[in-house]
Structure 1
Amino acid sequence: GKGPDVIDVEKLEILAGEALNDEHYQKEWRGTKVVSVNRKLPMTDCYVAPCVAACPIHQDIPEYIRLAGERKFDRALELIYQKNPLPNITGYICDHQCSCNCTRRDYDGPVFIREVKRIAAEQAKEAYVTIGERSCKQLDTKAAVIGAGPAGLAASYFLARSGFRVTVFEKHDSPGGVVTHILPNFRIPTSAVEKDISVIKAQGVDFRFGVSGIFSIDELKRDGYKYIFISIGAEVTRKLQLDGDNDSVYDALDFLRSFNTDPCSLDPGRRVAVIGGGNTAMDSARAVLRLSGVERVSIIYRRTENEMPADTEEFDNALEDGAIFKPLLMPESFSKTGILKCRKMALGSIDSTGRRQPVGTEETEEIAVDTVISAVGEYTDLKILIGSGLKTGADGRLNVEQETLEADVENVFIGGDAFRGPSTVVSSIADARRAVTAIAQREISGWKDPDEYFSTGFDQKRQISEIFNKKGLLRPGSVSEKDEEAAENEALRCLECNVICDKCVDVCPNRANLAVAVEEKDGFHNARQILHLDALCNECGNCGTFCP
């Protein structure tokens, strides 16, 4: 209805007073990261969803969230599978950079994107039958995948979906890589991993387990494999330089393997120190806290929380579980009397990693511990890769073409940890998709990515109207016990920025930015185009600040 003719100053003063304590205005939870994309936007058709741009596989996030919100879970999952063959796994453990770059952060908190993916994967039924069916003609071309971790699983799916005859060679007795063998089993149910693998097997992929970890590219080619995708994991732990005569020191990867397979064999004592600041350190701390008899777990890191490579979510989870964070300490020795001597550190200048480097001081601190778990980093064994027939450059890194991920041996591609070092599941999927795209384009004349044929069928006029209604409401995220309601709530929060953005219009105090409706026939993709009226601009910078 019509607003008041005059301003009610008393109500305005009450509103202003309440704003001082209202959590939506404080926004301490928001953090300091900027919601942005890593490329310059064009002059026209500038609408972009920052969540999609931040995702390594550029998942169609606004679209599958809308489908899930309409309880069309099968369609949502079909869309997810166009770019992500591990939706159940990533529904639990994706590092969700999408949510970290969600426009909703500037309103009332990010959309729970990963949660909606999990819901779609678990609520869908018929989609698994459709996805599991071969949709293209099978080729006579054989492809070998070395390693059944996330990158290898994703590559095998994409290759099989394109018609290749795929064989996966895995040294362990089951697929999944780090997700199955290293990740603590309380982080993801076994059923989620099995569900994703069952879909890949339904594509006709042949798995060979228990094979040697040593392989030869020449031998594979002699066996008829025209294309090879190498995706061995980062399974070698960096050695912790620690003096002293106490050998009660676990390698983090060995510890986590034992935690998953035989936790009763672990007896770390009452006091444990986990050394490191990455996700493996956080997993180790959370796992050891679940062992009988453990009373105190300290995470010792030479820098501070701001420089920590671990995901914020994983760090917070470790603290919530009871771990104690002890920053700016560098372990130096561990004695049989149970004393871990640490050098106190200070932060110096920025190093090559973009973080402030730790500098030793004259002070030390002694901590009483029974066991140390070393989680100071992992890497892929280059000797295996070089022994297979690959070569390294002068910098000691493998020679890999960055666009296609093809190595210096024809038709051999590499991805995941083997290419980039310890990486996330979704980054490994992105590598697999990039490599398989190059393979398919080389082998199949006129090949097109299957996602080009997917249509959501949305009514754009209705969509735009609903987006404007969503923009005017604060609707904090809430996880309902009922998945359908949770998906619907998050869909009502998603602003679908790739359809309507207009942030520069919303934040301009002088109305110097206007959104003009246009027709697709005029050559535009977006339904509205931004027109800047320079004469009205006071150069406050709001538009530049909030533009993704």
Structure 2
Amino acid sequence: MSEKMYPIPFRSLMNWILAEREKTGEVFGVHKRWIADPAKTLPIFGEKIESPFGPAAGPNSQLAQNIIAAYVAGARFFEVKTIQKMDGAELAACVPRPCILADDEGYNQEWSTELEVVQALDEYVKAWFALKIMAKVWHYGDPDGFVFNMSVGYDLEGIRGPKIDHYIESMKDASQLPVFAECRKVLTELFPEEAAFIASISPQVSHSVTLSTLHGCPPDEIERIASYLLTEKHVHTFVKCNPTILGYHDARTILDSMGYDYIVFDDHHFNEDLQWKDAVPMFERLQALADREKLQFGLKLSNTFPVDTTRGELPNDEMYMSGRSLFPLTIEMCRRISAQFGGKMKISFAGGADFFNCDKLLAAGIWPVTVATTILKPGGYNRLTQMAEKTAGMPFRPFDGTDTEAIAALSAACRTDPHHCKPVKPLPTRKSEEKVPWFDCYSAPCRGGCPIAQDIPEYLELCRKGLYNEALALITERNALPFITGTICAHRCMGKCTRNFYEDPVQIRAAKLLAAEKGIDARMASVVRPAPVPGKRAAIIGGGPTGIAAAYFLGRAGVACTIFERTGKLGGIVRHVIPAFRISDEAIDRDIALMQAYGAEVRLNTEAPSVEELHKMGYTHILYATGAWKPGKLNIPGNVRGVIGWMQERKAGANEPLGHVAVVGGGNTAMDAARVAKRGGAASVTLVYRRTRRFMPADAQELELAMQDGVDFLELAAPVKQENGALTCEKMRLGEPDASGRRSPVPTGETVELPCDLVISAVGEQVEEQVFTDNGITLSAKGRPAFCTNVPGVYAAGDALRGPATVVEGIADAARFAEAVIGAPHTYDIPAEAHPTEAEVIARKGILRAPGKACCEGERCLSCDTVCQNCVDVCPNRANVAVRLPDGRTEIVHVDKMCNECGNCTAFCPYSSEPCKDKLTLFQTTEDMDDSKNFGFCFLPDGKVRARLTTETVGDPDELPADAALLVRTIRDSYSYLYR
């Protein structure tokens, strides 16, 4: 594999479109097709567009197939990729690989076409012809309903040179280009009935340009270039502005206030770039010049934003930021420009535009809008359809000014908009530790993030269909505590959800609780106690969630068991410590009732006998499921209480007055304690943590709830002592990241004080060790036993095994224990109704939709185990292709000739893999295959196939392993357009 791309000959390009459209109804993998209303258009540059947006000059407008894919999905304004005097291999050698990272805010390190300028020109002409005939023959809209906009850079000398001059003149009139004649000839052969229309296709591909300049370009150079384009090239001209025009202080303040304080940049670009005081008079002069030339002039806001590479995001020291973090900078630029020019300056927008704000931009008079980062995410080009549909319902009117008040409102609102603000905590990686397989790689990351591997897409689908009884039945195959986990589960599944790349994760936990509430009566009625299993009897020490779950799994299998619980009620820390505003006793009791329906014996107010005594009582297996009740040691002087004991007392009714409270720690228990203190009337509650909020181990939702309750935070502080109504803390700073990216706190020697009458220590809760040592159980250096201890028949689970564990981790351990007792894994069937059709799943791709009611979350679930294809969606060049095999399976093949190693597919693959390198690759030539290390194949002129799988072979496809043979034959017989 190399970064070299092959431009596809126009005949091959059209054969691909025709064959794929006939076979699947798609074009270059775009599932959605948008049909414009030819009567509804916007005028621009003396032409018209049927929708006010399209791809920005970037990876999605570099090749003909990119432009075609965007058009099919609804784009009608195409800012084709920037060209400059440096091009082709010379430029490609300057671009580090990978060069794109778009998993959150976007970053890139490429800036203009990697083709030679003459190749880029050919690509745009080919796309021009393809769009014309597609509009005419397949009725996508008016063949004249779209506009191509050139993008050139970066200095006057280069733009005036013969290479760029030929490009501009040829885009203005392509009639003398060989590719123009070739395209006309090919289309006439393919569509002879349209010969007259094809002959009439205009050679005027573009007579407008967006000027892009490098950082540090002097104002007089910008003005000279724009003046040259207006007067000598006589093209409508927009000048692209850099966000640095805002000034360092304002840009830094905006990003810091929105959670992007970790993005690093200094002021040198701000000092070297175009300044506001120079920009305003220059734009006034250029507007006057354009008016004299009877041309349109405007500003393109904005260019990408240069920032430092500090976390290994991409190779090289600097990269360009885009996407949602660029939006607040760009819209603030819009506000200032609109106000300065009284709404009379035409503004084209790029910088974090997406479905959620495109209508607001259009309503404010800002158009055309171009996008990049949003269509580099899952859904890809398909996202454009939703934008087209949304804006199509709005009034279209010629430019009559920008609405400064509306823009100001947009600028203000985005500062607190969750679609643009960074979450309080970064989301965890969505990747599994597994490598992507060559075949059957569709995978649901949510299931991989769940310790019990819950059938999440399936029960969401059942909920979507209103089959709550069936959904709960499926949930309880693996999950013994649907009410508890439906209420307080740490929901790691949601951190893995592919929807995070769209807007917000599917509300999996809420859907589970809904299924539990609606399905519990039927579930209880369906309980049938199995025949007792002879010779097996289990003792469970501890009646918390882990113990309850173990009793459920054993009872369901017919194994007799007894829970020994030292308190008067089951539920453990969840019942006795976690506050009632987080989970009710009723929810806990309903899970207990389900467990007891299978016949487990419960002994309350009973200390467990020793292991020896339990064996004498006939118990063959013993599980320690004791909770982490022992407080951790904070080791500072003063009024310090352990969090578990303090919260237990508060929940039991203690209501001593609270003064100023400090909670030390950053986990979920710390958040609970802080909220309990706040709701208990404390004069103030401050959560003290050695790192920043971003590094707190608490779930993001629990952290946000604490913030909503008014808890204060003292970050980068380590407590030293509490005395005289104050807590003294040493200020910390974050050191350099370690190999995992985690930054350790480093003492500074400075101190800070805060009012404090009580310190609650929420650090390092533990399980009492004596219960293990008294029974001869060996402990690790951390004071924990193994799952299967050194004492025969004795096991540990949950907190007893892990230290403080989540409820669902305890359930996973309980299921593992039950399997050890039973001697076989639990098996079950998933109802057919739990699987959506492939068409239903594909219809959800590219649709941004914020969470709603829990009953509707199945509509948002992308059912990744039915259709994944993230690597297909996000490849701007369409180099990852979904191939339908005769047996009904859909497999992914990587097409080498279309890949430039941008790396975008890597971020979105749910496996720890790079699809562009790790999926089977179709090579165009044997030379390409020799240049690559990828496993794959290419077709030889004699009809044989050369394959590199475990070993390299040449022969008939049937000689390959079965799956590979089927894939190769299918491509040869049904997808030959991929390589011909």
Aligned residue for 2:715? 327
1:301 counterpart = 2:689: yes
Q: State the Cα distance separating 1:538 from its structure 2 match.
A: 1.9
User: Within 1, Cα distance between the matches of 2:478 and 2:678?
Assistant: 37
Q: Secondary structure at the match of 2:883?
A: strand
Conserved? CA contact 1:77–1:127, under 8 Å: no
Aligned residue for 2:585? 190
1:505 counterpart = 2:872: yes
User: Within 2, Cα distance between the matches of 1:536 and 1:349?
Assistant: 39
Q: State the Cα distance separating 1:188 from its structure 2 match.
A: 0.7
Partner AA of 1:307 in structure 2: F
Conserved? CA contact 2:536–2:560, under 8 Å: yes
Partner residue of 2:901 out of 529, 539, 547: 539
Residues 261-312 of structure 1 show CA distances to partners (whole Å, capped at 9, x for unaligned) of 1143x2222x2111111111111100011113x2311111122112212112
Q: TM-score, normalised by structure 2?
A: 0.50
Q: Secondary structure at the match of 2:679?
A: coil
User: Within 2, Cα distance between the matches of 1:83 and 1:15?
Assistant: 53
Aligned residue for 2:838? 464
Aligned residue for 2:464? 69
Q: State the Cα distance separating 1:9 from its structure 2 match.
A: 4.2
User: Within 2, Cα distance between the matches of 1:284 and 1:399?
Assistant: 28
Q: Secondary structure at the match of 1:178?
A: helix
Q: Structure 1's 131 and 263: CA in aligned 2 closer, same or farther, altered over 3 A?
A: farther
Aligned residue for 1:355? 742
Q: Secondary structure at the match of 1:254?
A: helix
Q: State the Cα distance separating 1:366 from its structure 2 match.
A: 1.6
Q: Secondary structure at the match of 1:127?
A: helix
> What RMSD over aligned residues (CA atoms) do the two structures have, in Å?
2.5
Q: Residues 516-531 of structure 1: matches in 2 within 5 Å?
A: 516-518=883-885, 520=887, 527-531=889-893
1:8 counterpart = 2:151: no
User: Within 2, Cα distance between the matches of 1:281 and 1:263?
Assistant: 19
Structure label with greater radius of gyration? 2
Conserved? CA contact 1:499–1:527, under 8 Å: no
Conserved? CA contact 2:568–2:604, under 8 Å: yes
User: Within 2, Cα distance between the matches of 1:350 and 1:544?
Assistant: 23
Residues 441-476 of structure 1 show CA distances to partners (whole Å, capped at 9, x for unaligned) of 1xxxxx45132xx2311386x611111111142221
Conserved? CA contact 1:278–1:377, under 8 Å: no
1:257 counterpart = 2:648: yes
Which range moves more in the overlay, 128-137 or 141-150? 128-137
Q: Residues 125-524 of structure 1: matches in 2 within 5 Å?
A: 125-212=520-607, 215-243=609-637, 246-247=638-639, 249-264=640-655, 266-269=656-659, 271-292=660-681, 294-335=682-723, 337-349=724-736, 355-393=742-780, 395=781, 397-398=783-784, 400=786, 405-441=787-823, 447-451=824-828, 454-458=829-833, 463-479=837-853, 486-487=854-855, 489-518=856-885, 520=887
Q: Secondary structure at the match of 2:480?
A: coil
Partner AA of 1:332 in structure 2: V
User: Within 1, Cα distance between the matches of 2:592 and 2:557?
Assistant: 17
Partner AA of 2:716 in structure 1: L
User: Within 2, Cα distance between the matches of 1:319 and 1:126?
Assistant: 37
User: Within 1, Cα distance between the matches of 2:864 and 2:590?
Assistant: 32
Segments of structure 2 that go 5 or more residues without pairing to the other structure are 1-34, 36-138, 150-209, 211-299, 301-346, 358-373, 375-418, 911-980
User: Within 2, Cα distance between the matches of 1:431 and 1:373?
Assistant: 30
Aligned residues: 515
Q: State the Cα distance separating 1:388 from its structure 2 match.
A: 2.0
1:53 counterpart = 2:448: yes
Q: Secondary structure at the match of 1:390?
A: coil
Q: Secondary structure at the match of 1:132?
A: coil
Residues 225-264 of structure 1 show CA distances to partners (whole Å, capped at 9, x for unaligned) of 0011111111111122223xx53x3221111111111143
Q: Structure 1's 398 and 107: CA in aligned 2 closer, same or farther, altered over 3 A?
A: closer
Segments of structure 1 that go 5 or more residues without pairing to the other structure are 442-446, 480-485, 521-525
Q: Secondary structure at the match of 1:82?
A: helix
Q: Secondary structure at the match of 1:539?
A: coil
Conserved? CA contact 2:524–2:597, under 8 Å: no
Q: Structure 1's 519 and 201: CA in aligned 2 closer, same or farther, altered over 3 A?
A: farther
Which range moves more in the overlay, 509-518 or 135-144? 135-144
Aligned residue for 1:482? none
User: Within 2, Cα distance between the matches of 1:288 and 1:539?
Assistant: 53
Q: TM-score, normalised by structure 1?
A: 0.88
Q: State the Cα distance separating 1:162 from its structure 2 match.
A: 1.3
Partner AA of 1:267 in structure 2: P
Partner AA of 1:534 in structure 2: D
Partner AA of 2:753 in structure 1: E
Aligned residue for 2:478? 83
With CA pairs under 8 Å and 6+ residues apart, which has the higher RCO, 1 or 2? 1
Q: State the Cα distance separating 1:96 from its structure 2 match.
A: 0.6
Partner AA of 1:203 in structure 2: Y
Residues 351-377 of structure 1 show CA distances to partners (whole Å, capped at 9, x for unaligned) of 799733222222111212222212122
> Share of identical aligned residues, percent?
39
User: Within 1, Cα distance between the matches of 2:461 and 2:741?
Assistant: 38
Q: Structure 1's 491 and 216: CA in aligned 2 closer, same or farther, altered over 3 A?
A: same
Q: Structure 1's 124 and 29: CA in aligned 2 closer, same or farther, altered over 3 A?
A: farther
Conserved? CA contact 2:784–2:803, under 8 Å: no
User: Within 2, Cα distance between the matches of 1:373 and 1:396?
Assistant: 23
Runs of 4+ in 1 over 3 A off after TM superposition: 6-34, 135-140, 349-355, 395-399
Partner AA of 1:275 in structure 2: V
User: Within 1, Cα distance between the matches of 2:700 and 2:757?
Assistant: 28
Which range moves more in the overlay, 509-518 or 69-78? 509-518
Residues 92-137 of structure 1 show CA distances to partners (whole Å, capped at 9, x for unaligned) of 1011111111111111211111010010000114432245322454
Q: Secondary structure at the match of 2:832?
A: coil
Partner residue of 1:28 out of 411, 421, 430: 421
Q: Secondary structure at the match of 1:184?
A: coil
Which range moves more in the overlay, 70-79 or 306-315? 306-315
User: Within 1, Cα distance between the matches of 2:697 and 2:809?
Assistant: 15
Q: State the Cα distance separating 1:396 from its structure 2 match.
A: 5.4
Partner AA of 1:463 in structure 2: T
Partner AA of 1:413 in structure 2: Y
